[in-house]
Amino acid sequence: MAASVYGAETSAATAADLERTAFRRAEKKYKLYKAPLPKSRKKITVTKPTLDLAEVIDFRTEINETLHHQIGVIKVDCPDFDRPVFGLSDHPGFYFIPSALSIEEQCHWIRESLQSFPQPPNRTNLTPFYGPIYDLFDAAKRQEVFSNLENPGNYQGDSQKETMDSCKHPPIPATKLLRKLRWSTLGLQFDWSMRNYNVSLPHNKIPEGLCKLAKKMASPAMSKGEEFCPEAAIVNYYGPSDMLGGHVDDMEADWSRPIVSISLGCKAIFLLGGKTREDAPIAMYVRSGDIVLMAGEARECFHGVPRIFTNEESAEIDSLITQFTSKDEKLILDYIRNSRININIRQVN
């Protein structure tokens, strides 16, 4: 359930063709429309499309039982699993685990995602342009300004070919770089330009705690007696108006193994389509603490995130906000008020 934010499109269709697909129409239906910047001092009126959420599945409630029946929501029987698990009758291999993580677990992985996961040798979207940046979060907390970052060119074997020589960047606040963070990679490093895992890049193993969590949560999608083996993870960071375009995660060797996708922070809308963009997707809410599994046939389905909710009423993060009250964690609080983090753990081989 991941690519870089603004996800990689796997079709060579023209923009006009994409506008006509069912998946693209759903993305446009739910996306956040920003008011254009005025070109003059003249007052302008912006008409925002009405956001119709009537067809969005909510796995945490049973208010719209008719909608759930029409779409084919089913409860999955998992005798050895201690949480409710839902699926979709027309999407075998898709599993939704609502409220899978406690508030304490959510806070822990939010802290790790901001403080530890962007640390080198893990690569981020900033690495090709600024080189390895150590202790970015701590620098942002101290409101430091980086004045010696250089464009590294072809950094450590990255297949992205830079056309410019190494050059220094102008001074940039660490807080600004933190807000520019869009993805980081754990374990085996993913090469976005080549769309494969580059085993030659330096990397650490996925943290033991995250491995343990992924193995436990993957069990509804695993055959009896088999165990999920986490080897890589992609962490996506969403700002207030970011989206993840429709895509298919197809770079792992064995699609029978699930992708374990953990949602943290602001509520979002997740779209699950079919094997082509012409298949109309199903929309559902994903909230902080929810986990999605995609295995088998579900791995072939287009999916994306067209919208996150960042206003206080719709974001549904009150329980998180109360956990980050100390002065030392003000930066985390400010960040998570209008952001979403998604951790996707994969078995590569």
Residue 247 marked ligand-binding: yes
CA 98, 100, 103, 106 torsion-angle sign: negative
Q: What is the dihedral of CA 123, 133, 262, 92, to 10 degrees?
A: -20
Is 108 known as a binding-site position? no
Residue 241 pLDDT exceeds 60 = yes
Residue 62 backbone dihedrals phi, psi, to 5 degrees: -120, 30
Q: Is 95 helix (H, G, I), strand (E, B) or coil?
A: strand
Check: CB of residue 271 under 8 Å from CB of residue 304.
yes
Pairwise CA distance, residues 50 & 186, whole Å: 39
Q: What would the mean pLDDT of 243-259 be, rounded to a whole number? A: 91
pLDDT at 155: 52
Query: Which of 325, 340, 329, 4 minimizes the C-alpha distance to 140?
Result: 329
Between CA 57 and CA 43 the distance in angstroms is: 39
Residue 40 pLDDT greater than 80, yes or no: no
Residue 51 has a pLDDT of 84
pLDDT (average), residues 38-67: 69
Q: Best-predicted range by mean pLDDT among 4-8, 85-89, 240-244? A: 85-89
The percent of residues above 90 in pLDDT, for the chain, comes to: 67
Quick check: helix, strand or coil at residue 175? Answer: helix
With a cut of 60, say whether residue 156 has pLDDT above it.
no
Is 303 annotated as belonging to a binding site?
yes
Mean pLDDT of 30-54: 66
Can you tell me the mean pLDDT for 7-29?
70
Query: How high is the pLDDT of residue 195?
Result: 78
Higher per-residue confidence, 168 vs 5: 168
What is the full DSSP assignment across 237-302?
EE-TT--EEEE----SS-TTSPEEEEEEES-EEEEE--SSTTSPPEEEEE-TT-EEEE-GGGGGS-
| Element at 321 (helix H, strand E) | helix 318-321
- Does the structure show a pLDDT above 90 at 236? yes
Q: Taking each helix axis from N to C terminus, what angle separates 208-218 and 103-115, rounded to the nearest 10 degrees?
A: 130
How far apart, in whole angstroms, are the C-alpha atoms of residue 232 and residue 197?
9
- Provide mean pLDDT across the span 332-340: 96
